[in-house]
Copies of this chain bind each other. A is one copy, B any other.
């Protein structure tokens, strides 16, 4: 059955549900949605190379994860329940010091498999040895915006090396000429990158017309330190370095004040909400979604890496976002289900500069089929509510990206080999670190 997967072919999805209406979807050999609507199957069924029975499913644009460190799947469960600084310095960094390019490859392979299984078709990734991440994404068949995590630690020598590493990754990714993989510039955060480094990143991204991926206001300490050091809040500091643009994804944004939200809205920044990670690491404040949305920013959603979540399931993350916003901002009407669902789909696609994120003729076919024959989708008073509050990623049956079938009726070809390869890489990594 492997010949059905990850290749260009004409696909007819027959009898699925789109926005509560029965519809067929025809995908052409370029990977685009050529037609969508009720009853179109009669016209296309002769032409299709593959007919997928969509009955008992809801078709949804594939989920978009706008902030993660994919290869950190290898660290899943390695250390939890610790004070942030101890966790990083005693557990995460010592292990990361032993990571090899092969580890990044296997970690990213595992991440892509998890995303495909849970209905995510595109992600925004920041890590290192990203050439290997690109290889894994290429093989997996999903989309990614990849950046090298630029950390100069305020040293001019290190800055020079980071600029070079960034340039190398961007040029490597251009050379791949894979429409599913784009490069971004990844200044890590204001507490790890000098103003000079930030400015270089902003200028380079502008010259190359590519995205910027940064952490912003994750902790209260970051805000307090920034005020003490620069006499201004983090968003203002970033803006003065040119980092806030309509191609910028700012992860976390927990501690933004209202004026910073207005600034992000004015600049057209995409704030990426990462609720599970923020809760697990005790950031103690939830991203001010309502201020950001009111200011005209487009909030989107991300899982963060598996060391601080510890999975990449965007359905779980969507529920966590919707209920955390209500809880923290003390208002059960904040982030209603339809907005939460869009955050994880259409808004994420926009954040990564993708023309996907909606199901419409002419758009690339990035779509998932979610089973309605599950307990979580019974009864089906309101599909949007069920998708946000009742389902998790296990309800996803079929995943299609750029018109290629990556999972069909919960089967992903090669899954066992990926699980085995990633498990072996993780075990060897720990062994190396403990032997050091």
Chain A's interface size range is 35 or more
Segment of A181-189, A205-213, A324-332 in the binding face: A324-332
Is A375's CB under 8 angstroms from B113's CB? Answer: yes
Q: Is there contact, CB below 8 Å, between A306 and B390?
A: yes
Q: Which of A19-27, A81-89, A139-147, A223-231 binds B? A: A81-89
Question: Of A124-132, A288-296, A344-352, A379-387, which binds chain B?
Answer: A379-387
Let me know if A301 is at the binding interface, CB within 8 A. Answer: no
Question: B423–A310 contact, CB under 8 A?
Answer: no
A392-B316 contact given A82-B333, A332-B84, A419-B373, CB 8 Å threshold: yes
Chain B: CB-nearest residue to A376: B311
A419 and B77 contact, CB distance less than 8 A: no
Is the pair B378, A279 in contact by a Cβ cutoff of 8 Å?
Answer: no
The 8 A CB mask of A271-284 against B (1 = contact, 0 = none) is 00000101111111
In the bound complex, how far is the Cα of B292 from the Cα of A245, in angstroms?
48
B residues within 8 A CB of A319? 276
Closest chain B residue to A278, Cβ basis = B327
B-side contacts of A422, CB under 8 Å? 378-379
**Assembly CA distance A76 to B379 (angstroms):** 7
A375 contacts which of B117, B323, B324, B373 (Cβ < 8 Å)? B117
Q: A380 touching B423 by the CB < 8 A rule?
A: yes
Q: Provide the main secondary structure of the chain A interface.
A: helix
- In Å, the complex CA distance between A292 and B375 comes to 34
**A74 contacts the other chain (CB 8 A):** yes
When distances are taken between beta carbons in the complex, the residues of chain B under 8 Å from A427 are 379
Give complex CA distance A77, B113 in Å.
30
Name the B residues within 8 Å of A336 (CB-CB).
Answer: 80-81
Interface residues of A in 348-389 (CB under 8 A from B): 373, 375-376, 378-383, 385-386, 389
List 23 contacting pairs A-B, 8 Å CB cutoff, sorted by A: A73-B379, A74-B379, A76-B385, A77-B380, A77-B382, A77-B385, A78-B382, A80-B336, A81-B332, A84-B332, A87-B332, A114-B376, A279-B324, A281-B326, A282-B326, A309-B390, A310-B389, A311-B375, A311-B390, A324-B327, A379-B426, A381-B426, A394-B394
